[in-house]
């Protein structure tokens, strides 16, 4: 779904997150435009997941603000529910729904037209067509991750937030993921991608934010190509 505006889709102004005396994210100013892919890279504990939770409205900044589509972000607000897709960690599946039924439920819940075609296409992308009648619990870790990503394809979206989406994926699946991200940005969808894999960032991202101990630095696409730092 294209945003249809000329301004940024997601904006952080002085966004800060503290837990007691611990600064998980130092004040950050950031804009994410429709049709761009921003990679967030850094070691464990650097603040990547904290930043993504703020962007998704799952946490409130200690100071500053986060706006999405022109309004203060709210995880339960209609703008977020209708226009933002998030894949963050090993989310639970519906245990009594098959792989196909899981995607159908997501598609129907978001009022997607042509549910059957959309689900078929998502299953084909995830290489799960032969597993449509299986329950997610019996799928491999890589297949489960592919199913989580496939669920993004059966709902409207202007912004997709992904926390280490390459986890458990084999090289072929990672290549399909990179192709998917490029196709999404070509449609005008904004992508925020947290990853430990610099190659994933190089392949998919227009620019990157490097986090270390909650402090951020910026890398352009050219910087990414030559970056050899330790993530």
DSSP string, 14-35: EEEEEETTEEEEEEEEEEE-TT
Band (229; pLDDT cuts 50, 70, 90): low
Ranges of each domain in the chain: 10-226
Q: What is the pLDDT of residues 55-98, one digit of tens each?
A: 999 999 999 999 998 899 988 888 888 899 999 877 778 889 99
Q: What is the pLDDT of residues 36-62, one digit of tens each?
A: 999 999 888 889 999 999 999 999 999
Query: Which ranges constitute the DSSP H helices of the chain?
Result: 48-55, 78-83, 99-109, 115-125, 141-152, 171-186, 198-204, 221-226
- What pLDDT, on the 0 to 100 scale, is given for residue 201? 86
Q: What is the pLDDT of residues 101-160, one digit of tens each?
A: 999 999 999 998 899 999 999 999 999 999 999 999 999 999 999 999 999 999 999 999
Task: Give the Å distances, CA to CA, from 17 to 22, 64, 106, 222.
Answer: 9, 9, 31, 30
Total residue count of the chain as it appears in this document: 231
Beta-carbon contacts of 68 under 8 Å, excluding residues fewer than 6 positions away, are 9, 10, 11, 55, 57, 79, 80, 83, 84, 159
Q: Please compute, for residue 39, the number of CA atoms within 13 A of its CA located in the half-sphere on the CB side.
A: 30
- What pLDDT, on the 0 to 100 scale, is given for residue 38? 97
> Is 10-226 a CATH 3.40.50.300 domain?
yes
Kindly report the CA angle at 134 between 128 and 140, in degrees rounded to 5? 65
Band (228; pLDDT cuts 50, 70, 90): low
Would you say residue 212 has pLDDT above 50? yes
């Amino acid at each position: 779904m294209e945003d249809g505006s000329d301004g940024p889709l997601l904006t952080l102004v002085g966004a800060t997150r503290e837990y007691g005396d611990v600064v998980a994210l130092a004040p950050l100013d950031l804009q994410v435009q429709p049709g761009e892919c921003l990679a967030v890279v850094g070691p464990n504990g650097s603040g990547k997941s904290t930043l993504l939770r703020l962007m998704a409205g799952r946490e409130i900044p200690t100071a500053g603000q986060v706006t999405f589509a022109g309004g203060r972000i709210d995880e339960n607000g209609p703008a977020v529910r209708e226009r933002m897709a998030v894949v963050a960690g090993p989310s639970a599946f519906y245990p009594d729904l098959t792989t196909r039924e899981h995607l159908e439920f997501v598609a129907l819940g978001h009022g997607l037209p042509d549910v059957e075609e959309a689900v078929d296409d998502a299953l084909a992308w995830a290489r799960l067509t032969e597993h449509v009648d299986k329950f997610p619990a019996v799928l491999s870790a890589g297949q489960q991750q592919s199913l989580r990503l496939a669920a993004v394809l059966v709902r409207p979206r202007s912004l997709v937030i992904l926390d280490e989406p390459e986890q458990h994926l084999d090289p072929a699946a990672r290549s399909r993921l990179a192709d998917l991200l490029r196709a999404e940005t070509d449609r005008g969808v904004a992508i925020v991608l947290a990853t430990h894999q610099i190659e994933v960032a190089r392949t998919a991202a227009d620019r990157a934010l490097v986090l270390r101990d909650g402090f951020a630095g910026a890398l352009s696409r050219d910087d990414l190509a030559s970056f050899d730092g330790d993530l």
